[in-house]
Amino acid sequence: MTAITVDRLHKTYTVPEREGGLRAAVGSLVRRRTRQVRAVAEVSFEIDHGEVVGFLGPNGAGKTTTLKMLAGLLHPTSGEARVLGSTPWQRERSYLSRMALIMGQRNQLQWDIPVLDSYRLNQAVFRIPDAQFRSRLDELTELLELQALLRKPVRNLSLGERMKCEIAGSLLHAPQVLFLDEPTIGLDVAMQRRIRSFVADYNRRTGACVMLTSHYMADVEALCRRVIVIHHGRLLFDGGLTDLVHRFAAEKTITVELEESRADDADLARLVGGHPLERSATGISVRVPKAETARVAARLLAELPVVDLVVEEPPIESVIEQVFDAPEEQPSGQEVTGG
Ligand SMILES: Nc1ncnc2c1ncn2[C@@H]1O[C@H](COP(=O)(O)OP(=O)(O)OP(=O)(O)O)[C@@H](O)[C@H]1O
């Protein structure tokens, strides 16, 4: 069943344009110049209940803008969205009490008061009955190991501790849709792993639908079978993570283990068709264009004393880079009309 439907969502920001100098400053009092920045352009997709979807794109692609619209913080310029049957920017209480937006780079808890007091505020805002509040807090405290943190003011927490508290605070009302914007940014590897496994667990236990942006591909690989890629505000790809690799990976790596590494450099270069080659203690590895993989592998098998041969896709990071390098007809984040 569909949890999120996005239909040709579009967001253009109007930003004031100021030139330097006194003359321009006086002039702007009379006639204010603005320019339009297109952040999201005609984006459409659907996400089912229970899905965890990676929402990817380079800096400025329009991810946060999209999530803010879906969380009801921004009105779109045009287009439609339905999340859990509601239009997010109408900000109906019944919708807001069933969704959460967690932003790794924004502090959503109160800075100067203890974490637990912030949670109490959330309890009041979301009208969470006492018994439910207690049982969810106990559960989250155990899962995220918050016991020692609840009485500390947020300003005294480390980044990782604060992030755990932010996540727990946003889940006290048991949202059915989670928008996670860079939830692991700046955290050490162990904490990233803990947050990841917590999100996976939350999704499994509650069947909540999760949309996740992250620049760490380990997050995406661990959590998301499906990814939606946007670039310059436009949807570039929507499908399985493995399909993304098949479609955009330009090269594969062939690694062969050799009985003995007798072949000289010129011979090897000929066998691999001049593609970049690395020697190791036990053999060689070479990156070849996808279309040539079978031919090069066959030549290596036929002409070298091969013990083992492995063909691998490139790491997801480099595939994503290739996707982002795809040319676009009209970039966003730039002036599209003067005003
Ligand atoms: N409040 C705003 N006013 C004007 N322009 C904005 C505003 N917020 C975002 N933009 C612009 O809209 C475009 C999309 O920004 P957005 O923050 O949605 O991208 P993003 O994909 O989340 O990027 P990042 O990965 O860097 O967080 C960018 O060109 C950005 O400069």
Using CA atoms, how far apart are residues 62 and 65, in angstroms rounded to an integer? 5
265: amino acid identity, one letter = D
2-9+42-246 CATH: 3.40.50.300
Confidence at 113, pLDDT banded by 50, 70, 90: very high
Residues 6 or more apart whose Cβ sits within 8 Å of residue 50: 203, 207, 208, 209
Span of 120-134, 182-196, 257-271, 277-291 with lowest mean pLDDT: 257-271
Answer yes or no: is the C-beta of 35 below 6 A from any ligand 1 atom.
Answer: no
Q: Quick one: which atom of ligand 1 is closest to the CA of 215?
A: 25
Task: Identify the three-state secondary structure at position 62.
Answer: coil
Residue nearest to atom 4 of ligand 1 (CA): 13
Judge whether residue 137 has pLDDT over 90. yes
pTM of the predicted model as reported, rounded to 2 decimal places: 0.83
Query: Which residue is listed with tokens 């979301």?
Result: 126
Using CA atoms, how far apart are residues 242 and 191, in angstroms rounded to an integer? 26
Confidence at 328, pLDDT banded by 50, 70, 90: low
Domain ranges of the chain: 2-9+42-246, 250-312
Answer yes or no: is the C-beta of 214 below 6 A from any ligand 1 atom.
Answer: no
Answer yes or no: is the C-beta of 57 below 6 A from any ligand 1 atom.
Answer: yes
Q: Quick one: which atom of ligand 1 is closest to the CA of 64?
A: 22
Judge whether residue 96 has pLDDT over 80. yes
Note the pLDDT of residue 63: 95
**Residues making up the chain, counted from first to last:** 339
Tokens standing for residue 287 = 């990156």
Which contacts qualify for 303-308: CB closer than 8 Å, 24 or more apart? 303/271, 304/256, 304/258, 304/263, 304/271, 305/258, 305/259, 305/260, 305/262, 306/256, 306/257, 306/258, 306/259, 307/256, 307/257, 307/258, 307/259, 307/283, 308/256, 308/257
Q: What's the 62 CA to ligand 1 centre distance in angstroms?
A: 6
CA atoms within 13 A on the CB side of 156: 10
Domain 250-312 has CATH 3.30.70.980: yes
Look up the ipTM and state it: 0.97
